[in-house]
Every structure is written in structure tokens, then in C-alpha cells.
Amino acid sequence: MVRLAPGTGDYNKPGKKHRSTDIQRMRLIHMTDPHLSSLEGHTLLSLRGKRRTGYLSWTRNRSHFHRRDILDRLVAAIRTESADQLIISGDLVQIGLGDEIRQAGNWLSELAPARQVFLVPGNHDVYANDSWAAVRRHWSAVLPEVTAGCLDTPDSGYPFVRDLGVQDLGVGDSGERGFGALRLIGASSACVRPVFSARGALGPAQLSRLESLLRESREQGFLCCLVIHHPHLPGTAKWRKALKEVKALQALIAAQQPALVLYGHLHHNLERRDGASRIYCTASASNAHDASYRVIDIERNSSGWSVRMQLKAIVGAIAGTAPSSGVLSSGVHFEVVDDQRWTVTQRPSPA
């Protein structure tokens, strides 16, 4: 279990009131691409189709530096951060097998209460046609609900919205403006793709809903944080790994200017700015070379918000026989490698 700060993280707990200081500060943690599942028990011959190439990629290459013990160290570090929300932008598994997805579900249930985990799926989570049914079965606690009678697909219920601070401030429920509240918006770009493709897609319906949601949220004065697995910036991913609607989403974000955009998929730390938007990709949480997480502190003030982003990266893992094998030393730890502060002046637009 993640240790949470007293009085925070329970914003939506019925009947629970918090001190005003609690609702004015929120701490988000972004981690991504843990690729935590084991493929032990599976062989090349026991798999079919695209999973065979994925298995070879894992056993011959990626398993040498994605290590579960690195992820465990990162989670241990996160437990000391007193986070209100853990944001995970996908790729919890390797080839979307039901057994892997069950492992990841167990990991999620031990990580933190579901209401404090904000997750969007990645392409490895929706690797084959049978993957999504397993995701729905084992990760349901952290997925948006599907409307009765609607088809359950990887974009069902997305964009997924979680408002933080709204109820405590007494706004939102009655349709009042949400100035002072933080809105997490999760988009699902995960979809089944042919062999050698890691592309993502939102689809026209989700893209349209996302446009409306970002516009309305901006007009209502929410501080918006968009979470998606695939990057929306052209050129940051090769064509075979890129988001189908990359230009459309880039234009949407440029127009609506969410304060934060958090994504994964690229497996390295990257920052871009687009007007008032700060756009961050975080390295894989299990990579022995550069496992990282971001701590984002948001504090409300009289004119808007002050924001601090600290990037924390692993130090000391590349020594001796690591990263491909060997026992990690006790000296492995996470250090601040980037520390940024800025302010966001964001008020509701005139009615």
C-alpha cells in the first residue's frame, strides 16, 4: 500500500471533511510503462501470432534491463512521497496475456486504493484480441465503467474524468464553476495492432469527446491534466509506434492548453512546452538505466495555482553485473534530476 498523507487522497469519501489546507495542496505522482509481468511458463511454441515476436523481443532484449526489482525499488521510493494520486500511463505487461494481466491486477491492488490510482492502458496491455476482456476482469477497479448495453472496447468510458477538490470546495455538483479544482482526464490510445505495429488511436468519437471536455473544463476554470499513453507530438515516435491522430491531438492541445500532459510509451524522460501546457514523458518505471517518476505538487493560491514538478531518477543500478542480471545493491536510490516551479493563472471565463 502506498502511504498517503493524512487528510489527503480521500476527497470523494462520503461524509469525510478535510481541513482547508488539505484541499489546497495536491500531490500527483506520474509513473509509466512498468512492464512488470513475467513470461515464465510461456514459450515461443506455446504462443501464436504477434505474441511470438513480442516474446522474442522480451526474452532477447527488453528483459535484460526491465527488472521487477527495479520497479519494486521505485514503488518503495514512491511510498515515501505521500501522494494523493498515482498516475500510470500504461504498459503494465508485455504481450497482453491473461496471466500477465492477472499479475498486473494483483500488483495494482497492492499499490494503492483504487480511488487513488489513475490509469490509462498502453499498447502492450491491449496486445491481442483477447487482452481487453482480461484487462476488464482484473483491472476493473481502476477502469471507467461501461454504460449498460454498450460494447466494451479499450476506449469504453474514455475520456475518463476524475475531479479532485470539487466536493470539498462546494462546487461542481450543482454545475457551478470549478475554479480551484484539479481535473484529471485520461484518454485511451490502446488498440490491437498487427505484428510489428505499436501504433495507437483514439478514434473519432473519443477525440470529439476529448475536444468538448478540454474546452468545457477550461471554460469552467479547472486545472487540467491530460494523461495518455502515446505522445501527441509529431516526430517523437516512429511511424510504426505513433498515435494515428497525432496532428489532430496536437492541434486540440494547442487550442485548449491543458496545464499538464503526461504520457509514456517512449521509455525516456522528455519535456516539451506548448504555450501554457507543460508536456512530460517519463522513463519506464522498471528500466535499470533510467527508471524514473515525477512528483507534481499543485497548490491553490489567490490568483490560480503554483506548480512544482520534480523528476526523480534511479542512481546506482548500473554496477557490477547489473542491469542484465545480479542482485541490486542496497545503495540504489532515486534522486531529483530536474526541479521546476511555475504558476498557472487560470480563472473561469465569463459566463
Interface residue list for Fe ion (CB under 5 A): 33, 91
Q: How far is the CB of 291 from Fe ion (least distance, A)?
A: 13
Q: How far is the CB of 35 from Fe ion (least distance, A)?
A: 6
Q: How far is the CB of 66 from Fe ion (least distance, A)?
A: 9
At 316 the three-state DSSP class reads: coil
Nearer to Fe ion, 60 or 273 (CB): 60
Nearer to Fe ion, 34 or 180 (CB): 34
Nearer to Fe ion, 231 or 258 (CB): 231
* 333-344 and 260-263 beta bridge pairing: unpaired
Nearer to Fe ion, 266 or 279 (CB): 266
Closest C-alpha among 204, 166, 208, 205 to residue 184:
166
Question: Can you name the residues that pair with 268 across neighbouring β-strands?
Answer: none
Distances 101 to 31, 132, 169, 341 between C-alpha atoms, Å: 18, 9, 37, 37
Q: How far is the CB of 243 from Fe ion (least distance, A)?
A: 14
Q: How far is the CB of 267 from Fe ion (least distance, A)?
A: 6
Q: How far is the CB of 126 from Fe ion (least distance, A)?
A: 12
- Cell numbers at 335, concatenated: 534522486
Nearer to Fe ion, 84 or 91 (CB): 91
Point out the residue whose Cβ comes nearest to Fe ion. 91
Q: Rounded distance, CA 323 to CA 344, Å?
A: 40
Nearer to Fe ion, 8 or 282 (CB): 282
- Cell numbers at 261, concatenated: 500532459
Concatenating the DSSP letter of every residue in 124-169 gives TTT-STTHHHHHHHHSGGGSPPPPTTS---TTTTPSEEEEESHHHH
Question: Can you name the residues that pair with 31 across neighbouring β-strands?
Answer: 88
